Homo-oligomer: A and B are copies of this chain.
């Protein structure tokens, strides 16, 4: 063990580091979201929808949720602030966060990103003020992951100068569409654009779906996706169009225009490239969902850690009182590595939001390289954060035993509401593949096209190199890695340079292996092109996971580097050790197979991890308090009640007639 964490920690300093540059947005929400916005347990679906719908219009947008819009339409041109606002809403009520994300992120964001001045002037102000509620109608029953293959058509008719929007069959029906079943007046509808007898790929139109009385517009059929696992307050619905006439100027035409006579033009010639450029502008959704997932994870961890700090079970041989749950090694083994990973992802998310703000916050079009890098990073961190949320909230539920199953203790809704995050805004497995593809693109001449494998093949450069350039503390990281002596055995497993090197080596080696296997496959399986990629799919997904691990660790290291308070820095450094060594421990099979770890060193890591748990145990509560979630937001009965129950019981036990106490 290198050094112990000095105590006590100044909580305000820790919070400052975790809150990051948009601290004022966080504080505005902490102050501004009162009891009215807290979740209600045990509602019916209708009650939840009614309540969330009302809260959406009552939400003070000036706190940040609409801040990505230009000032002239009621925003603040602050993209980062809008993401942070989503994270804060996610700690209050995930239905409200998703409903808000649909309205201002997806729907409003699409009008802003894909529309042009006339759409903005006509609609953005009412969208920002929530006067016009809308939907983002992309996903179809038959196509969710592969949205390039949507089957809804929108065909231009020069005679009437309108488009004919049509759902040819049930698989082409828009499905799972938030805001559709109850509230949406308009929808950004994605469909295949046809004009002059030719298709130009997927474009988007702004289409009214309900009239002022809330009745479906002619030709529009609105269905209800019905009860869901969670997010009861979000009215997901289904939209079908029966030859609906859409005026020509309702095409959101930033990336593709249709003239009166039906002539198509676009600044981007290739249909596929154009489509993915359009999609790319919507990267904010993924960044929001990843951030929201981590925010919910923090709520769950706060509940489980605080409960485990007062809940006791089983006699302790050296004490009158029973043992606190948090004093059990097995409990620490559940909570602390998950908490360390949450810290790591917090820094990675902060770096991502800063990059998003920089790339998309400017006036001009974003730099294409940086935009691609951003998309890859957003995809990877969305997958990492949402899977981490699913696992961790589940673990926290179990760590609270039967109490964790009761709605009044919040964990059931945290679990149910976030569950869909792993598959919406991009299925995680598909997203990992996208990340891997970015990493492999630089090599694709060696094994042929990456087509037919989800996602664009036009990503120009090897993303990894760009990411390496970007990492905030790249020079520090390089220095730490360079300082590692040649023989691993000579250096402690808590050496940051060694940890960084292991993460980097793992990614590099996995990537090289994937390239080699793809190259061999391309030669051997010419007649079975599908098999070339499919046979190495598991390997390729591992490359992506290793990449995300490295990016996350480097962000954590950069975050520590920027921390000035010595005690907080020391604490974060131990948490970072725990994160790095937990990942190494989880992957020790691979590392041993490839000679990256000796058996002795591998065993030593388990002991060091257990030592870190012991060292961090006194700081468990501090680590969750650093998230600064207002007490009332946790909205959890056991946190209010358990401590008092334990004290009453202890007093009773002490006062009881010793004769009456069972043997």
A residues apposed to B, CB below 8 Å: 41-42, 44-45, 139, 141-146, 149, 151, 153, 155, 168-172, 175-176, 192-194, 197-202, 225-230, 271-272, 313-319, 322-323, 327-330, 333, 390, 394, 397-398, 401-402, 404-408, 411-412, 415-416, 419-420, 422-424, 427-429, 451-454, 528-530, 534-538, 541, 585, 587-589, 592-595, 599, 602-603, 610, 641, 645-646, 648-649, 652, 659-663
Which residues of chain B come closer than 8 Å to A453, judged between CB atoms?
314
5 inter-chain pairs at a CB distance below 8 angstroms, sorted by A residue, are: A144-B313, A230-B405, A329-B537, A401-B427, A535-B610
A201 to B662, CA, bound (A): 5
Whether A394 lies near B402 (C-beta < 8 A) is no
Whether A529 lies near B171 (C-beta < 8 A) is no
Return A424 CB to nearest CB of chain B, in Å: 6
Whether B405 lies near A228 (C-beta < 8 A) is yes
Complex partner residue of A424 from B139, B172, B390, B402, CB under 8 angstroms: B402
Whether B153 lies near A322 (C-beta < 8 A) is no
Contacts A41-B226, A313-B145, A594-B599 given; indicate if A423 touches B402 (C-beta within 8 A): yes
Whether A227 lies near B398 (C-beta < 8 A) is no
Contacts A452-B314, A452-B315 given; indicate if A541 touches B330 (C-beta within 8 A): yes
A407 to B224, CA, bound (A): 12
Complex partner residue of A420 from B142, B170, B405, B452, CB under 8 angstroms: B405
Return A370 CB to nearest CB of chain B, in Å: 27
Whether B660 lies near A153 (C-beta < 8 A) is yes
Complex partner residue of A589 from B322, B535, B592, CB under 8 angstroms: B592
A412 to B176, CA, bound (A): 15
Contacts A45-B42, A406-B225, A662-B202 given; indicate if A530 touches B316 (C-beta within 8 A): yes
A203 to B595, CA, bound (A): 58
Whether B405 lies near A419 (C-beta < 8 A) is yes
Which residues of chain B come closer than 8 Å to A198, judged between CB atoms?
659-660
Whether B229 lies near A538 (C-beta < 8 A) is no
Return A659 CB to nearest CB of chain B, in Å: 5
Return A108 CB to nearest CB of chain B, in Å: 22
Which residues of chain B come closer than 8 Å to A408, judged between CB atoms?
226-227
A571 to B402, CA, bound (A): 40
Whether B229 lies near A412 (C-beta < 8 A) is yes
Whether B648 lies near A316 (C-beta < 8 A) is no
Contacts A145-B313, A405-B419, A427-B401 given; indicate if A593 touches B592 (C-beta within 8 A): yes
Which residues of chain B come closer than 8 Å to A429, judged between CB atoms?
330
Whether B226 lies near A530 (C-beta < 8 A) is no
Which residue of chain B has its CB nearest to the CB of A176? B402
